[in-house]
């Protein structure tokens, strides 16, 4: 008996680019998407991508696996491809990025005895660190980011299925972002709110080197006389909009909070909203763009 394949979320005839550092779970993700009914092409040379997309219209969703082992891979070429596809009105494009800690990747390569593609001489850790550093600009363009550290292949399969093949009573996935206006808006935002009117912990020397996930920074932001009303109105707006978007069949909603540096106010507000929405039963993930960028740079320096 042929197993029933659940259609991908929203049953969109679109494109999912699957990428991330070697060993983070890209192959597992590609295999799961294929099981869900996606047409899968792994390691397609980037030079052939325009020919593929300019052909007949997609009748089924397409998943492309891309990494540094692609024949003509380069970061600039992949960025150009992502930006070009995002701007095409005829194809709904998502970037799925699988990531894992350096320690986890070292463990996986050591256990499987596979050769890392960037290690010809030198340590395994140096190759992993170099690849993660190269992919920082791609990670920043991710629409869906899955941190696979500690996940078994079974756990990762369940997460891919949850994101791309929910059942009829599917939960809309909500991602709450923080960012710095200095570096521009993140890609794919549905709702953006400006936190720069709140008082800035940057000017308190004791808080400057911390971020909005720190309890003292959060309390400082909350103490602004305008904060309570601001957050209450945000929550009221989300209570109105999220069910409406879900009823319309939207499968993913991105909410962004910006401030000057993307470290204090926007992070604190994003953390609070994510916690509140999760308590209400929504599937919520968080992205702190400037924190991720800072951590990636620190990781690269350690390598």
Work out the number of other CB atoms within 10 angstroms of the CB of residue 272.
20
Note whether 181 and 258 are within 8 A (CB). yes
d(CA 121, CA 188): 40
d(CA 109, CA 123): 12
Dihedrals phi, psi of 54, to nearest 5 degrees: -90, 5
Q: Provide the β-strand partners of residue 194.
A: 258
Q: Provide the β-strand partners of residue 179.
A: 258
Domains and CATH numbers, the chain: 9-168 (3.40.50.300), 173-299 (no CATH)
Burial of 255 (C-beta count, 10 Å sphere; 0-12/13-18/19+):
buried
- 9 Cβ neighbours under 8 A, 6+ residues apart: 163, 164, 165, 166, 170, 251, 252
What pLDDT is stored for residue 143 in this prediction? 86
What pLDDT is stored for residue 113 in this prediction? 74
Dihedrals phi, psi of 288, to nearest 5 degrees: -110, 95
Note whether 165 and 56 are within 8 A (CB). no
Tell me which residue of 83, 33, 80 sits closest to 61, measured CA to CA.
Answer: 33
Per-residue pLDDT of the chain (303 residues; tens, 9 = 90+): 333 233 333 334 478 999 999 889 999 999 888 888 888 988 888 778 878 877 776 667 889 988 877 666 788 888 888 888 777 777 778 889 999 999 999 888 888 777 787 776 668 888 888 889 889 988 988 888 999 998 888 888 888 887 887 554 456 788 899 999 999 988 778 999 999 999 999 999 999 999 999 999 999 999 999 999 999 999 999 999 999 988 876 778 899 999 999 999 999 999 999 999 999 989 888 889 998 888 776 655 555
Cα distances (angstroms) measured from residue 88 to each of 63, 117, 179, 210: 17, 32, 25, 40
Note whether 192 and 234 are within 8 A (CB). no
Tell me which residue of 179, 149, 177, 193 sits closest to 260, measured CA to CA.
Answer: 179
Note whether 274 and 286 are within 8 A (CB). yes
């Amino acid at each position: 008996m042929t197993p029933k394949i659940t259609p991908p979320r929203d049953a969109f005839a679109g494109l999912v680019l699957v990428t991330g550092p070697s060993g983070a779970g890209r192959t597992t993700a590609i295999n799961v998407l294929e099981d869900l009914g996606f047409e899968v092409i792994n390691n397609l040379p980037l030079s052939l991508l325009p020919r593929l997309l300019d052909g007949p219209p997609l009748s089924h969703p397409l998943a492309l696996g891309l990494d540094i082992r692609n024949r003509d891979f380069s970061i600039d070429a992949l960025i150009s491809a992502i930006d070009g596809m995002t701007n095409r009105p005829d194809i709904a494009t998502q970037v799925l990025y699988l990531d894992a800690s350096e320690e986890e990747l070292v463990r996986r390569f050591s256990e499987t005895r596979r050769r890392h593609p960037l290690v010809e001489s030198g340590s395994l850790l140096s190759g992993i660190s170099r690849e993660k550093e190269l992919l920082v600009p791609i990670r920043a363009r991710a629409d869906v980011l899955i941190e696979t550290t500690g996940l078994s292949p079974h756990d990762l399969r369940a997460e891919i299925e949850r994101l791309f093949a929910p059942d009829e009573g599917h939960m809309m996935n909500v991602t709450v972002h923080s960012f710095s206006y200095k570096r521009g808006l993140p890609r794919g935002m549905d709702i953006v709110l400006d936190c720069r009117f709140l008082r800035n912990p940057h000017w308190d020397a004791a808080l400057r080197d911390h971020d909005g996930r720190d309890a003292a920074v959060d309390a400082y932001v909350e103490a602004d006389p305008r904060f309570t009303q601001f957050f209450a109105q945000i929550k009221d707006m989300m209570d109105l909009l999220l069910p409406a978007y879900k009823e319309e069949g939207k499968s993913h909603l991105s909410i962004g909070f910006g401030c000057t540096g993307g470290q204090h106010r926007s992070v604190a507000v994003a953390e609070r909203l994510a916690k509140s929405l999760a308590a209400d039963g929504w599937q919520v993930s968080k992205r702190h763009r400037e924190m991720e960028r800072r951590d990636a740079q620190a990781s690269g320096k350690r390598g």
